[in-house]
Structure 1
Amino acid sequence: MKQSSSKCKAQVLLSIVLAVSTTFTYAQSNQSKLTAISPDDVASYDFVRPEADYVKRVQMIPMRDGTKLYTVIVMKKNVTKGPILLSRTPYDAKSSTTRTRSQLITEILPAMDAEFVADNYIRVYQDIRGTHNSEGDFVMARPIVGPLNNTGVDEATDAYDTIDWLVKNVPESNGKVGTIGSSYLGFTTLNSLINPHPALKAAVPQSPMVDTWIGDDDFHNGAFRVPTMDFIVDQSTDKANAGAQVGFGVGDDYTRYLESGSAGDYARKWGIDLFPNMQKILQNPAYTEFWSLQAVDKWLAARPLTVPTMLVVGQWDQEDSYGAPAVYKAIKPKDKNNDMVTLVIGPWRHSGANHYGYGLGALTFTGDTALEFRVNYLKPFLDHYLKGASDPHTPHVLTYATGLNRWDISPKWPMGTMTPLYLGQHFSASFKADNSSGHNDYVSDPSKPVPFLPRPVNLGDETSWKSWLVHDQRFVSDRPDVLVYKTQALDKPIHIMGEPLVDLFAATSGTDSDWVVKLIDVFPNVSPEPAEQGSKPSMAGFELPIGIEIFRGRYVHGFNKPQSLTAGKIEEYKFGLPNVDHVFLPGHKIMIQVQSSLFPLYDRNPQTYVDNIFNAKAEDYKSATESVYYGGENASSVLLPLVP
């Protein structure tokens, strides 16, 4: 009986299994039998198929305070003893590793990763705390643990803890890690150098945010950069997942910001003042310790140099031109054997080293300069320190000579000897001091500020934003509120390598003023070949900016102590232009432009001293007569770093 019963039960069980199997197969092959209200959602779908050439893992890596950070690890299949290349980002690690939905690793990752992952590098992207899929609170450019941060955690500790986890939990790695990234990622890369993990063997900060008051994103020499407000809204809303934007519609940003009043009025009108980061800016317009204690170059200057570092920036970086050269200046003295720090300046816009480098705006270069840099210099540098490859003898300084279109290798930076190009009478410019002295005047009217691009201005237009620093300046050269000084046509090339310095003697009839100085290469007004319809514009007569910078007059006696200017009093304003390697060719002219606004990139100076320009009232904005002096004791000039 027992055997018969067991056999019967087995037959019943087999029948059930067959029925379920048959039903499942039938449902798969006959989905038309589903009813109209059968649920249509599925839990997930992985586009990565078995034939993919890569492996992708997602990990929530714990930090020392228990916060877990979303981390994506990508590598080719069958990698062994591969070095790890880490980027810590506020811009979404998930989307950074899903450029396209492909089965090829070189297509899912950013273009700059291709040479590395093809050579068995393990690529890692991580959301910094408080952004996208990571836990914790987001703090913009979080200060290191110290006077401004008592939490015990920062981007340096998070980098350390991440590297520690990776070398212990990624069995395919060789235990060596490099950090790399541009802009905000350049900032986090620099942070990895503060108390670095022993496994960190190399770092490549590109266009890093370093001092956002002196010369990076938020201010330049005290003048507020208006697009900062859009970035705050986008980056600080709902862990940067919402893509929040100010709802002002479309139109001319020049008019929109002008009609809003001060930058503070604009922030309050659109509720941007409710964002904590905006409040920090509104409450700290001067360079107090709130800003100076956040300056990354100062952090690094106070610490030992133990990790080989390659600093990279674009010559026409429209967002963070200051940071990389400032860090180079701060840490190069620690490079006792002259083999730990490299500075690279390429002919690029912001983050241009990671994209295509054939040209910028109307400029065309000889080949893909960005790819040349990555293949010939960046990868050999990382291969040496992360893979044990032979020493590539990375240049101490690598720059691209625009004008000649060639790479220059130098033993130091700057290379040039500072030589004044003097402003003179009859709006001349010369390397010889003018025997006569005098001044040229213009009226700066805050109700009609000089635009930084031709109107209509659209700050959201990435094409014009990325290339505005090389835009032809003829669109403002004939404005009555722009002074134009220029040399005669050059009879020999003039090569500059370094940071041009403005030495401007000027006075205002107001009690505050901004000063904008532009160094420009004026092309001959002839063209060897007419521009074809739809092609890039002819360069005949082109006024190419080599460097543009602004200085807020109230800080002439110290960035930390703003003061009212005395009407009519001559003051000496000294400030730097971006670092460059450029050759002014024979037949070209060198031009200097001076003006008092660059709108709406920078907020307007009311030209009447108020304690906080963010709170300036409509009645504070007044026209002023601006005087630029030349010759004698008040010989205005731009000092150029000349090389033979």
Structure 2
Amino acid sequence: MRRYIILAIFSFFLITNCDKSSQERTLKKDTYVLDNYTKQEVDIAMRDGTKLHTTIYTPKDNSKKYPILMQRTPYSSAPYGAGKMKTKISPNIHLMKEGNIVVYQDVRGRWMSEGVYDNMRAYIPNKTANQSDEVSDTFDTIDWLVKNVEYNNGNVGTWGISYPGHYATISAIDAHPALKAASPQACIGDFFFDDFHHNGAFLLSYFRAISLFGTYKDAPTNSAWYSFPKMNSQDQYQFFLDKGPLKNLNEYFQYDKLDVKTAENKDKIDDFFWKEIVEHPNYDSVWKSKGIIQHMNKVPSSVATMIVGGWFDAEDLYGPLETYKGIEKNGIENYNTLVFGPWDHGKWASSRVRNSVGNYYFGDSISLKFQKEIETKFFNHFLKGKGDKNSGLPEAYVFDSGKKEWKTYDAWPPKNVIKEDWFLSENQELTITKKASKEIKFISDIKRPIPYSEDIKTVFTPRKYMTDDQRFAARRPDVLVFETDVLTENLTLAGDILAKLKVATTGTAADWIVKVIDVHPSDLAEDNEGLQDHLKMSNYHLMVRSEVLRGRFRNSFEFPEPFTPNKKTDVNIKLQDVFHTFKKGHKLQIQVQSTWFPLIDLNPQTYVDNIYKADEKDFKTQTHTVFTDSSIEFSVLK
């Protein structure tokens, strides 16, 4: 029982386990899988001899042959043991009930598989005969499956959400000839930009998840071998503020507690993932080797790909967008499609009719439409159908989160997009006209950092803030606000956003956060079901996109550098793609700030070589300046 409780806790990585989802709950009393499938558990030997635990669900109807749908996961292929069956298998209920051979595999070093786990194990391009990585493990597994599983038709598809989405991406690199379709969903692309870091800033709010990936294990097990830090507080803001510098969190990653308090062991770290983060604060060879985006030229044209993501995914927004763009850039002959909807992490796998993120409602049956009309059609065409490029699906199937409607395009971003610069002017104006450069100053108080949410609670990983009302931040003196007049016609942004800030600081270090916000009309009376009691949709400040850049990385993620005090400096921040129409009667607002706590850790605001080892004395309140010749470059749909 303890293992399944823990599996539920780390839900933020795998929505098909986490939401247990309404889809899972709907099927909880259903015996469809038990009645229609047989289950087999095997240990498949890889080329280096390591055995990976694999669970195979095969339709009982053996009158025809079926494709294989496979998911490789670090989150357990449970339940283990004869007679114990999942209640939901395959990417969605349609593919489950149509009949497919469905395979789950514990990746190397996780749960019942042999070997030692490596977080985002580096891809080895030119392997020797016995070298293994996740690419070869996938290849070897597919090779065994098509040769040994009865009633398979020789075609294999892979899918997964979050970390399993990363392994779906991996499957397409140097792919086995039997792999015909891969759907990486919310796929991790690079741990310096996804999940635990954003542009070099550490996502402090994820610290409880560290032990899930960094607790050592060297033997198969069907029960959890890790535990999560106990915060003993329901106020995460105050908890982390009281803890102080990041080095004070080391105690949560020491598994031998007998000598924790002795001076010589106070900085001891047993968790190999936390140690990796602490010892590698910059984008060095360790992080670069683990990134997968740079290998999209290894995806052959024989593998069709459908990349899926959510516009409001707090964990993995960078990964799916960059994966899609990487395949597009390198694979001119590839069948490669993009699907992005109004979802947070993995909610497209949910069977809920109502689709909302946090307080914001986007419509009904959005996820159900995706599952039936897009995902099922994709896999059936390439695994059971002709498998040619005439799939009947668009190149880009994207949801306009402002108009709340689906659109299709033959390219992403759409071809009729132009770049426009909007300037941060004094008097809180956002204008298309560049004016004389003036200074706007604010104090960044290290004792009163700006919260990322006004909620008082402790979360395992944050999600709802992605659509949170930003009025609470706009009313702080250390948040600069710039907005348009009331729009007289619709304005649609489609593609990435580049904040081109010109700043200065009295210190030598600073973070910079930019938020793009849709300010709703004040006379908007309707309120969403589920809206928090203290909120109204009147004047709702919907956060459409946001991003942080740790200022030391403004010129290079590999070679950080301090600011020169009081010197005007360029800081460019790329915000990930959006597809959002700011409607007539709304306003477009930009917020600029320098803390975002405890979503990200506190910057000392004085330069140190390694923030993870900074001392209390390094943290200083500073005065920051934003110059009004700063601009925001939008991708505007014409």
TM-score, normalised with respect to structure 2: 0.86
Q: State the SS of the aligned residue for 1:336.
A: coil
**Which amino acid is 1:547 matched to?**
R
Q: Report the equivalent of 1:20.
A: none
Matched, 1:327 2:311: no
Q: Secondary structure at the match of 2:508?
A: coil
**Residue 56 of structure 1: SS of its match in structure 2?**
strand
Match of 2:75 in 1: 91
Give the equivalent residue in structure 1 for 2:42. 59
Q: For the aligned residues, what is the CA RMSD? A: 2.6
Conserved? CA contact 1:345–1:580, under 8 Å = no
- What pairs with 1:36-435 in structure 2 (closer than 5 Å)? 52-79=35-62, 80-95=64-79, 108-109=87-88, 112-145=91-124, 152-213=131-192, 215-237=193-215, 239=217, 241-268=224-251, 270-271=253-254, 273-301=269-297, 304-337=300-333, 340-355=335-350, 356=352, 358-389=355-386, 391-415=390-414, 416-433=417-434, 435=435
> Which piece of structure 1 moves more, 289-298 or 588-597?
289-298
- Aligned in 2, Cα 1:431/1:111: closer, same or farther, shift over 3 Å? farther
Correspondence list, 1:585-600, <5 A: 585-600=583-598
Query: How far off its partner does 1:327 sit?
Result: 1.7
Report the equivalent of 2:449: 449
TM-superposition CA deviations, 1:91-121 (whole Å, max 9, x none): 11114999x988xxxx711584311121111
Q: State the one-letter code of the partner of 2:98.
A: D
Distance in 2 (alpha carbons) for counterparts of 1:152 and 1:116 = 35
The one-letter code matched in structure 2 to 1:333 is: K
Cross-structure match for 1:11 = none
How far apart, in 2, do the equivalents of 1:431 and 1:386 lie? 50
Contact residue 96 and residue 109 of structure 1 kept, 8 A? no
Counterpart contact for 2:553–2:559, Cα < 8 Å: yes
Deviation at residue 128 of structure 1 after TM alignment: 0.6
Deviations 1:620-644 (A, max 9, x none): 10011111111xxxx2111111112
Residue pair 1:237, 1:243 contacting (<8 A) in 2 also: yes
SS at match of 2:604: coil
Could you tell me which runs of 5 or more consecutive residues in structure 2 were left unpaired when the two chains were aligned: 1-29, 218-222, 256-268
Change (3 A) 1:514 1:314: same
Q: Distance in 1 between matches of 2:339 and 2:449?
A: 35
SS in structure 2 at match of 1:426: coil
1:147 Cα deviation (Å)?
9.7
Match of 1:558 in 2: 556
**Per the alignment, do residues 530 and 468 of structure 1 end up closer, same or farther by CA in structure 2, a change over 3 Å counting?**
closer
Distance verdict in 2 for CA 1:302–1:439, change over 3 Å: farther
Instruction: Kindly state the Cα deviation for residue 603 of structure 1 after the two structures are TM-superposed.
Output: 0.9
**What is the CA distance between 1:151 and its match in structure 2?**
7.6
Cα distance change, pair 481–84 in 1 and its aligned pair in 2 (3 A): same
Seen in structure 2, the aligned counterparts of structure 1 residues 454 and 71 have a Cα distance that, compared at 3 Å, is same
Letter aligned with residue 634 of structure 2: L
CA distance in 1, matches of 2:241, 2:356: 33
| Shift, 1:548, TM fit | 0.7
Is 2:536 the partner of 1:543?
A: no
Contact 1:305-1:331 within 8 A present in 2 as well: no
| Structure 1 contact 85–123 (Cα < 8 Å) conserved | yes
Contact 1:76 1:118 survives alignment (8 Å)? no
User: Which whole-Å CA distance do the structure 2 matches of 1:530 and 1:66 have between them?
Assistant: 59
2:220 maps to which residue? none
Contact 2:299 2:331 in 1 (8 A): no
Alignment of 1:461-476 (within 5 A): 465-476=462-473
- SS of alignment partner, residue 427 of structure 2: helix
CA distance in structure 1 between the aligned counterparts of 2:91 and 2:165, rounded to whole angstroms: 15
Residues 75 and 117, structure 1, Cα contact 8 Å, conserved in 2: no
1:75 CA drift (Å)? 3.3
> Hey, what's the Cα distance between the residues in 2 that align with 1:150 and 1:559?
35
| Separation in structure 2 between the aligned mates of residue 448 and residue 535 of structure 1, nearest angstrom | 25
Residues 430, 484 of structure 2: 8 Å contact kept: yes
**Native 8 Å contact 1:63 1:162 kept in 2:** yes
* Candidates 569, 577, 580, aligned match of 1:579: 577
User: Which stretch shifts more, 225-234 or 496-505?
Assistant: 225-234
Counterpart-to-counterpart distance in 1, 2:205 and 2:79: 24
Letter in structure 2 aligned against 1:417: I
Contact map agreement 2:500 2:631 (CA 8 A) in 1: yes
In 1, distance between residues paired with 2:80 and 2:194? 24
8 Å contact kept, 2:120–2:291: no
The letter of the residue matching 2:620 is K
Could you report, residue by residue, the CA deviation over 1:391-430 in whole angstroms, capped at 9, with x for unpaired residues? 4332111110111111111121222211112111101012
Deviations 1:178-232 (A, max 9, x none): 010011011111111121111000100001111111x201211111112443222
Describe the SS at the equivalent of 2:293.
Answer: helix
* Native 8 Å contact 2:233 2:239 kept in 1: no
2:429 and 2:482 in contact (8 A); partners too: yes
Q: Measure the CA separation in 2 of the matches of 1:96 and 1:370.
A: 30
Kindly provide the amino acid, as one letter, of the partner of residue 334 in structure 1. Answer: N
Tell me how far 1:605 sits from its aligned partner.
0.4
Q: 1:389 to 1:375 in 2, by over 3 A?
A: farther
Q: 1:527 to 1:226 in 2, by over 3 A?
A: same
Count residues with an aligned counterpart: 583
SS of alignment partner, residue 40 of structure 2: strand
Q: CA deviation at 1:503?
A: 0.8
1-side partners of 2:403 and 2:604: how far apart?
42
Q: CA deviation at 1:466?
A: 2.6
What is the rounded CA distance, in whole Å, between the counterparts of 1:565 and 1:151 in structure 2?
48
Partner in structure 2 of residue 25 of structure 1: none
Structure 2 Cα separation of the partners of residues 196 and 331 of structure 1: 14
Query: Runs of 5+ in structure 1 lacking a partner?
Result: 1-46
Structure number with bigger Rg: 1
After the TM superposition, list the runs of 4 or more consecutive aligned residues in structure 1 that deviate by more than 4 angstroms: 47-51, 95-98, 146-151, 302-305, 530-537
Distance 2:549 2:34 in 1: 57
Distance of 1:530 and 1:118 partners within structure 2: 38
* Counterpart residue type for residue 493 of structure 1: N
Deviation at residue 352 of structure 1 after TM alignment: 2.0
Identity of aligned residues (%): 34
Give the stretch that moved more between structures: 585-594 or 437-446.
437-446
Q: Whole-Å Cα distance in 2 between the matches of residues 507 and 116 of structure 1?
A: 55
Partner amino acid, structure 2, of 1:522: V
C-alpha deviations, 1:251-298, integer Å up to 9, x for none? 311122112222232124552832112111111101112212222111
- CA drift of 1:476 comes to 1.4
Mapped to 2, the partners of 1:535 and 1:261 lie a distance apart of 31
Deviation by residue 1:58-116 (Cα, 9 ceiling, x = unmatched)? 11111111111111111332143111110000111114999x988xxxx7115843111
Report the alpha carbon displacement of residue 331 of structure 1 after superposing the two structures with TM. 1.8
